[in-house]
Amino acid sequence: MKRFGEKLAKLRQGQGLTLRQLGEELEVHNTFISQIEKGRKMPNAVMILKIANLFGVTADQLMRDDLELDE
């Protein structure tokens, strides 16, 4: 899951969302999103599923470093 934050940032930016907007969607503070994107925090299973559902990707695509996101 080393690339989780990188993938989250790519998804967020691809949708044109700010950290604050994504935080509001996920019901967390925007600093938590920032910390995830920087690799300083890791989300729990519930948050991973929320993120996957929000962006229409699988949890595997987010969590497994060897899998890429569909463009």
What pLDDT score does 5 carry? Answer: 96
CATH of domain 4-63: 1.10.260.40
* Cα 20 to Cα 25, 30, 67, 69, distances in angstroms: 9, 5, 27, 23
Identify the DSSP state of 70: P
* Distance from C-alpha of 8 to C-alpha of 4, rounded to nearest angstrom: 6
- Cβ(57)–Cβ(69) below 8 Å: yes
**pLDDT score, position 71:** 60
Q: 1 and 12 in contact (C-beta within 8 Å)?
A: no
DSSP tag of 68: P
Per-residue pLDDT of the chain (71 residues; tens, 9 = 90+): 889 999 999 999 999 999 999 999 999 999 999 999 999 999 999 999 999 999 999 999 999 988 888 76
Domain residue spans in the chain?
Answer: 4-63
Return the pLDDT at 69.
83
Provide the whole-model pTM: 0.91
